[in-house]
Amino acid sequence: MLSKASLSIIAALSLAGPLSAAELIDPAAFGFGRPGYMVDTTVIGGQDFDGSIRGSLEVFELRTILPVWSTKVGEGGRIATSLGYNITQLNFDPGDRMDLHNLELQVSYFWNSPTSNWWGLGFVTPGLGTDFNGISFDDFQISALGLLGYKFTETFTIAGGVFASYANDDGTLLPALGFIWNPGNWTLQVTPPFMVLGYKISDPVTVSLSMYPSGGSWDVDRQDGINTVDLSGWQGAASIIWKATDKLSLSLRAGINFAGEFELRDTRERVLVDENLDPAPFGAFNIRWAF
């Protein structure tokens, strides 16, 4: 499972990059760029099960980000915290529905001295992935990232480091590497697992093509014996972002959710369902109020 917290390398690069945060592109509303309040809604159409089970899965997701506190520490340093809440509704045809929740608190430290081209960032993000039935340690999730970056030119920056996460008895340790390049009105952000190519048509309007992961992992307590839900996939999207005012921006995106996988496990970690999902169209709307 690749949580939204794992995408914080993007946030790190956006803060440290040669662009001002307002010029970077956030088509999938993961919360990088200028800090602010954000609400994002995504609807994925019916993804047919590609296996022994007949039926399909539709997904509704609502994500929010709420910056809480930030303060300067020394020359070029800053500590910040933010809260995130996601609700993911899985609608099965035929028959069932799951309401799944993610709560996250991110604490981050960022250093970027005005006298140096080097910069650094670290964060830790504890949280819960749950259905709110019987909260226990199994619902606990955590991720962390450490990055060191260098600004080569006014239009190009690069960063490398390590990302680690833990959820549902599954740990991950991955290298983190990415760059942002901004020649004129074009922006190329290659910050795996997120990639975006954008073009600024005018001051208020930007269009983009992007690809990024979707899904999540949750610990649940159900009478039918299901204990763990894993949903993963990728989304390829075309987006249009309209900056209505200096603080308010609205965006629409649409595309295909593909390479989907859906897994259910019981309390003994036995796999009950392991299905690939057929591609399906999706649409999304985002509203952001920046500081």
Pairing of strands 271-277, 280-290: unpaired
Between CA 248 and CA 255, with CA 251 as vertex, the angle to 5 degrees is 165
- Give me the pLDDT at residue 119, please: 85
Q: How many CB atoms lie within 10 A of CB 132?
A: 13
Domain ranges of the chain: 4-290
Whether 244 has a pLDDT exceeding 50, the answer reads yes
- Give me the pLDDT at residue 240, please: 95
Q: Rounded to whole angstroms, how far apart are CA atoms 187 and 131?
A: 39
Share of residues in the chain with pLDDT > 70 (%):
90
- Give me the pLDDT at residue 74, please: 82
Listed range (45-49, 86-90, 127-131, 148-152) with the worst mean pLDDT: 148-152
Q: Rounded to whole angstroms, how far apart are CA atoms 121 and 78?
A: 10
Q: Is the dihedral of CA 220, 224, 225, 231 positive or negative?
A: negative
- Give me the pLDDT at residue 177, please: 84
The reported pTM is: 0.86
Question: What type of residue is 270?
Answer: R
- Give me the pLDDT at residue 133, please: 86
- Give me the pLDDT at residue 31, please: 64
Whether 115 has a pLDDT exceeding 80, the answer reads yes
Arithmetic mean of pLDDT, 134-162: 86
- Give me the pLDDT at residue 33, please: 62
Mean pLDDT, the chain, as a whole number? 85
Q: Which residues pair with 86 in a beta bridge?
A: 63, 102
pLDDT grade for 94, boundaries at 50, 70 and 90:
confident
Residue 277 exposure: Cα atoms within 13 Å on the Cβ side:
29
Are the beta carbons of 215 and 179 closer than 8 angstroms?
Answer: no
Region of 215 (left: φ > 0; alpha: ψ -120 to 50; beta: rest) is left
Q: The tokens 């990232």 sit on which residue?
A: 145
Whether 25 has a pLDDT exceeding 50, the answer reads yes
Tokens of 265: 């496990």
Arithmetic mean of pLDDT, 72-90: 89
Residue 176 exposure: Cα atoms within 13 Å on the Cβ side:
28
Whether 100 has a pLDDT exceeding 50, the answer reads yes
